[in-house]
């Protein structure tokens, strides 16, 4: 690992670091950076115009988010999951998200439902335009708004944390137009369940909504091992 020099310690704009984190997160989500791929400090310094200490902070934040891991004698790499880890992670997401759906006050107040609909219309537009970055970010906003309806900050934070940990798993579904369209339709079905007070439908939708990204990743890993 290269040593940090005095020049490296010059202040770096926080916005530049945050932009680097967001860009690398998206690269991982969209499969531009693959599981097990190395992230070298020198390449990231050149790409983002950051000092070495700032790049290390970026990598540390990505590690905290669960999308990057440090390996001895290798450095930072995009997080890869075994089939067992994928199943366990998604089982936990199922517990958290379906439990949230079981507790959500129904039917949802019209004003709060309207806020969720507004976010979903942004997601609709992004899917229609084929803009993967906007699809990803509007999808995040939809789920934050959805589980925010429970008014349980602890559960909401847990759901968001473990959803983020699946970013390296989700590239197979986010990259495909038919998966994005399926997610869009499921979002509207959730909205209708919230409006109608149909808790059973909401819980089922929350469970089934998790499956495409899990199964696409497992299929890609199986194909990689076969190759």
**What angle do helix axes 14-29 and 41-48 make, rounded to 10 degrees?**
110
SS3 101: helix
Q: What is the pLDDT of residue 220?
A: 80
- What are the residue ranges of CATH 1.20.120.530 in the chain? 83-226
pLDDT of residue 30: 82
Give CA 147 to chain center in angstroms: 15
User: What is the structure's pLDDT at 9?
Assistant: 44
**Between the CA of residue 10 and those of 7, 60, 74, 146, 172, what are the distances in Å?**
6, 18, 27, 41, 39
Q: Is the pTM for the entire model greater than 0.85? A: no
CATH class belonging to 6-78: mainly alpha
- pLDDT tens for the chain, 227 residues long, are 555 554 444 544 568 999 999 999 889 888 888 888 999 999 999 999 999 999 999 999 999 888 899 888 888 999 888 899 999 999 999 999 999 999 999 999 999 999 999 999 999 999 999 988 899 899 999 999 999 999 999 999 999 999 988 888 876 667 688 889 999 999 999 999 999 999 999 999 999 999 998 998 888 878 877 75
- Where does CATH 1.10.10.10 sit in the chain? 6-78
CATH number of 83-226: 1.20.120.530
Q: Residue 13: what pLDDT?
A: 56
């Amino acid at each position: 690992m290269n040593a940090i020099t005095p020049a490296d310690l010059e202040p770096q704009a926080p916005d530049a670091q945050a932009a680097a984190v967001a860009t690398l997160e998206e690269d991982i989500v969209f499969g531009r950076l693959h599981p097990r791929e190395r992230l070298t400090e020198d390449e990231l310094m050149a790409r983002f115009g950051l000092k070495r200490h700032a790049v290390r902070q970026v990598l540390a934040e990505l590690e905290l988010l669960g999308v990057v891991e440090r390996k001895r004698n290798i450095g930072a790499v995009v997080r890869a999951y075994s089939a067992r880890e994928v199943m366990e992670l998604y089982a936990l997401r199922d517990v958290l998200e379906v439990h949230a759906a079981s507790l959500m006050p129904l039917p949802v107040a019209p004003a709060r439902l309207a806020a969720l609909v507004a976010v979903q219309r942004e997601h609709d537009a992004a899917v229609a335009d084929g803009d993967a970055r906007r699809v990803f970010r509007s999808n995040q906003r939809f789920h934050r708004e959805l589980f925010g309806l429970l008014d349980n900050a602890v559960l909401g934070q847990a759901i968001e944390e473990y959803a983020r940990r699946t970013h390296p798993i989700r590239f197979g579904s986010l990259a495909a137009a038919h998966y994005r369209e399926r997610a869009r339709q499921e979002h509207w079905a959730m909205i209708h369940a919230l409006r109608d007070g149909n808790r059973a439908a909401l819980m089922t939708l929350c469970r089934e909504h998790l499956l495409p990204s899990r199964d696409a990743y497992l299929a890609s890993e199986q194909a990689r091992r076969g190759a």
